[in-house]
Amino acid sequence: MPKVAFIFGTRPEAIKCATVINAMKLDRRFEPLVVSTGQHREMLDIALAEFGIRPDIELSVMQPRQTLSQVTYRILERLSGQIEQWGIDAVVVHGDTASTLAGALAAFQHRIPIIHIEAGLRSGNIASPYPEEANRRLVAQITDLHLAPTIRSSENLLREGAAEDRITVTGNTVVDALHWAAENAPAFAEPALADLKNESRRIVVASAHRRESWGAPMHEIARALVQLSCQENVRVIIPLHQNPAVREVILPYLSNQANITVVDSLPYRNFCSLMLRADIIISDSSGAEEEGPSLGKPTLVLRDITERPEAVEAGTARLVGRSTARIVSEATRLLRDPDEYSRMAQPVDAYGDGKATTRVIGAIARYFAAHTARESQLAN
């Protein structure tokens, strides 16, 4: 029975790995081990609890205002001191975070096979998103099994020289998590959102947290949200990220704005409930960029380029950058033009059909079966 370690440290990774972990727990072919780096500890713990997952190993690397180098070093150092003791047969990493990079490096340095979920995403610009684009390109060079969410992602890997028999297109597990959350969506626990059921205004759900949005772009985004909230029959709801680089810039703009509701980051199921209630989503979040189109919500992406072009090409998401004027213009067009709104408000399965978990488990099982067969041939 292969023992498989899932190494991750952020909320998005937890959400996108959760359905796979829970499925693997029920599969007698595997023994999953959940390793939390604690890169974003508080938000991570809440997400895992929602899916009924408790880490087997906690690295607890989170420290206030730590740099990228510091967090990557701490994760790698702690993994390197422990990973051989776990007796694992493979490491699963997800996406493109510091935990992803450090987890893959630690596995590679200890000759442990690497399985990469959400492999092959490429923006084409090494500096955007930063550092995620570099992280995922680096991880691809040492990965043994690439689990690509889309055909486009698999094509990216092939162009870079990955072996075709080491790539499986699975769909994105976020769609599986989204389906689960939508089916189990709770009533809003936040008092500030208790009136949403009877709200008659158009709802704009907005969020921003990416590193490339920090500083001047965050001021532009904040001004745009204030201007949108001043339009007739519009309410802007902002689940605000915990990062001080976000809160310290954006909060001064939003205080005393009658049509803006600011809440702390919501548990995943609550956030899915909020997206279901939204008329428009405005965000730089990769999760929202996938979830909004899957729910049929027009999604304005606060970026200039994206590694997730599928929904943009399908017409359900639109890149709008971070300038106040462009954000307001594009959102206003959706709010005032019913035909334009209807064109974008079409659910699409650009990122999957909700069955990615099954495909991921199947691909991992086939990988181990092939590995066992090769070892048997060598032994004979």
Q: Which of 94, 146, 152, 241 is catalytic?
A: 241
Query: Residue 175, Cβ neighbours under 10 Å: how many?
Result: 24
Instruction: Report whether 150 contacts 172 (CB < 8 A).
Output: yes
Closest alpha carbon to 5 in 130, 114, 148: 114
Q: Which of 41, 137, 179, 211 is catalytic?
A: 211
160 classed as catalytic: no
For tokens 């493109």, name the residue. Answer: 96
241 classed as catalytic: yes
Q: Which of 78, 209, 235, 359 is catalytic?
A: 209
118 classed as catalytic: yes
54 classed as catalytic: no
Q: Which of 13, 50, 118, 330 is catalytic?
A: 118
209 classed as catalytic: yes
Q: Which of 13, 132, 279, 307 is catalytic?
A: 132
For 112, residues 6+ apart whose C-beta sits below 8 A from its C-beta are 83, 88, 89, 90, 91
Q: Which of 96, 133, 220, 284 is catalytic?
A: 96
Give the burial string for 276-286 (b: 16+ CB within 10 Å, else e): bbbbbbbbbbb
211 classed as catalytic: yes
Give the residue numbers marked as catalytic.
Answer: 96, 118, 132, 209, 211, 241
